[in-house]
Chains A and B, each alone.
Chain A
Amino acid sequence: MATALSAKSLARRATTAPPELRKKPRPLEVLIQAFFFACGAVSILTTIGIVYVLGSEAWLFFRSPEVDLVEFFTTTSWVPAVGQFGIWSLVNATMMTTTFAMIVALPLGLASAIYLSEYASPGVRNVLKPILEILAGIPTVVYGYFALTFMTPLLRSIFGRDVVEIYNTASAGLVMGILILPLVSSMSEDALSAVPRSLREAAYALGATRLETAVRIVVPAALSGITAAFILAVSRAVGETMIVAIAAGAGPAFTFNPFKAAETMTGHIVRISGGDLSYDSIDYDSIFAIGLLLFLMTLVLNLISRAIMHRFREVYE
Chain B
Amino acid sequence: MKGKVMFFALVFVTILALLPTAGIAAPPPQAEGTRYTVQAGDTLSMIAQKQYGDRMLYPAIIYYNNRMARLDKAINLISDAGVLEPGWVIYLPTAEKAKRYAELMAKGVTLPEVDPLTVTGDIISAGSSTVFPLSERMAVRFKDEGYQGNITIDSIGTGAGFERFCKSGETDISNASRPIKHSEVESCLAIGREPVEFRIGTDGLAVTVSKDNTFLKDMTIEQLAKIFSDEVTKWSEVDPSWPNEEIKRFSPGTDSGTFDFFVEFVMDAVYGKGAGKEHILKAANLQLSEDDNVLVQGVEGSPYAIGYFGYAYYQENTDKLNVLSINGVAPNDETVETGKYPLARPLFLYSTAKIMAEKPQVAAFINFYLTYVNEEVKSVGYFPLEAETLNQAKIAWLDAMGQ
A residues neighboring B (CB under 8 Å): 41, 45, 48, 52, 56, 79-82, 148, 161, 165-167, 245-246, 249-251, 261, 263, 271-281, 283-284
Contact = CB atoms under 8 A, between A and B. Distances in A.
A82 B253 contact: no
Contacts of B287: 165-167, 249, 251, 261
A19 B128 CA distance: 74
B257 A276 contact: yes
A3 B128 CA distance: 82
Contacts of B20: 56
B289 A250 contact: yes
Contacts of B298: 166
A246 B162 contact: no
Contacts of A273: 157, 160
B256 A276 contact: yes
A280 B20 CA distance: 15
Interface stretch (B55-63, B92-100, B177-185): B177-185
B300 to A, nearest CB: 10
B162 A166 contact: no
B18 interface: yes
Nearest to B257: A276
Contacts of A81: 254, 277, 281
B162 A272 contact: no
Given A48-B15, A249-B288, A261-B287, A272 B255 contact: yes
B99 to A, nearest CB: 37
A57 to B, nearest CB: 10
Nearest to A80: B254
Contacts of A165: 287
Contact of A275 (B11, B159, B286, B301): B159
In this complex, which of A161, A279, A284 has the most chain B Cβ atoms within 10 angstroms of its Cβ?
A: A279
Interface of B: 7, 11, 15, 18, 20, 128-129, 156-160, 162-163, 167, 177-178, 181, 183-184, 187, 252-257, 260, 277-278, 281, 286-291, 294, 297-298, 301
A127 to B, nearest CB: 37
Given A81-B277, A82-B281, A250-B289, A279 B11 contact: no
A123 to B, nearest CB: 43
20 contacts: A82-B278, A166-B297, A249-B287, A249-B289, A250-B288, A251-B287, A251-B288, A271-B255, A273-B157, A274-B157, A274-B160, A274-B255, A275-B157, A276-B128, A276-B159, A277-B255, A278-B159, A278-B181, A279-B167, A283-B254
B159 A166 contact: no
B185 to A, nearest CB: 11
Contacts of A56: 20
Given A52-B15, A272-B255, A276-B159, A250 B290 contact: yes
Nearest to B289: A250
Contacts of A275: 157, 159, 253-256
Given A52-B15, A80-B254, A81-B281, 14 more contacts: A165-B287, A166-B287, A250-B289, A273-B157, A274-B157, A274-B160, A274-B255, A275-B253, A276-B128, A277-B157, A277-B255, A279-B162, A283-B255, A284-B159
A102 to B, nearest CB: 25
A41 B157 CA distance: 36
Contacts of B281: 79, 81-82
B190 to A, nearest CB: 12
Given A48-B15, A52-B18, A166-B301, A279 B163 contact: yes
A48 B294 contact: no
B355 to A, nearest CB: 20
Contacts of A278: 159, 162, 181, 183-184
Nearest to A247: B294
Contacts of A45: 11
A198 to B, nearest CB: 42
A259 B158 CA distance: 32
Nearest to A34: B3
Nearest to B187: A280
Nearest to B161: A276
Scoring A48, A165, A273, A276 by chain B CB atoms within 10 A of each residue's CB, the highest score goes to A276
Nearest to B277: A81
B11 A48 contact: yes
Contact of B290 (A271, A280, A283): A271
Contact of A246 (B18, B157, B257, B290): B290
A263 B288 CA distance: 10
A61 B286 CA distance: 27
Most chain A CB neighbours (cut-off 10 Å) among B290, B294, B297: B290
A251 B286 contact: yes
Contacts of A245: 290
A150 to B, nearest CB: 13
Nearest 3 A-B pairs (CB), nearest first?
A275-B255, A250-B253, A251-B288
The residue in A249, A272, A277 that gathers the most chain B C-beta atoms within 10 A of its C-beta is A277
Nearest to A248: B290
Contact of B157 (A79, A148, A276): A276
Contacts of B260: 276
